[in-house]
Amino acid sequence: AQSVAQPEDQVNVAEGNPLTVKCTYSVSGNPYLFWYVQYPNRGLQFLLKYITGDNLVKGSYGFEAEFNKSQTSFHLKKPSALVSDSALYFCAVRDSGDNFNKFYFGSGTKLNVKP
């Protein structure tokens, strides 16, 4: 079965510093991995996805993620954090085969960016 794990409940970073939000995955078949962000009182917004190809995926709002097959990781990164990046971040993996529309979400990581 597919699953993702986000080992950190919370990440604190100072504005202007680089940030990393961690995600590891366990899949059967090809890993189709996603990052979503949830701002307070808002729904989930899509940031980026890895399907195949280049291991470094660029997404919205200056975020990028690095797919590492040997470490089964898909960490979210940003070179310079903004206070407005403070939000809840979810890693997700989709199911394989005919169930590809079923997503499995991580537990979420709260990112706090301090001025």
How many residues bind to other proteins according to rule CB under 8 A?
22
Alpha-carbon distance of 5 to 14, in angstroms, equals 24
Is residue 103 a contact point for other proteins (CB under 8 A)? Answer: yes
Annotate each residue in 63-102 with x if it binds other proteins (CB under 8 A) or - if it does not, as one string. ---------------------------x---x-x---xxx
Could you tell me which of 28, 1, 9, 6 has the C-alpha nearest to residue 106? Answer: 6
Could you tell me which of 15, 4, 27, 18 has the C-alpha nearest to residue 108? Answer: 4
Q: Which residues bind other proteins (CB under 8 A)?
A: 32, 34, 36, 41-46, 49, 51, 90, 94, 96, 100-103, 105-108
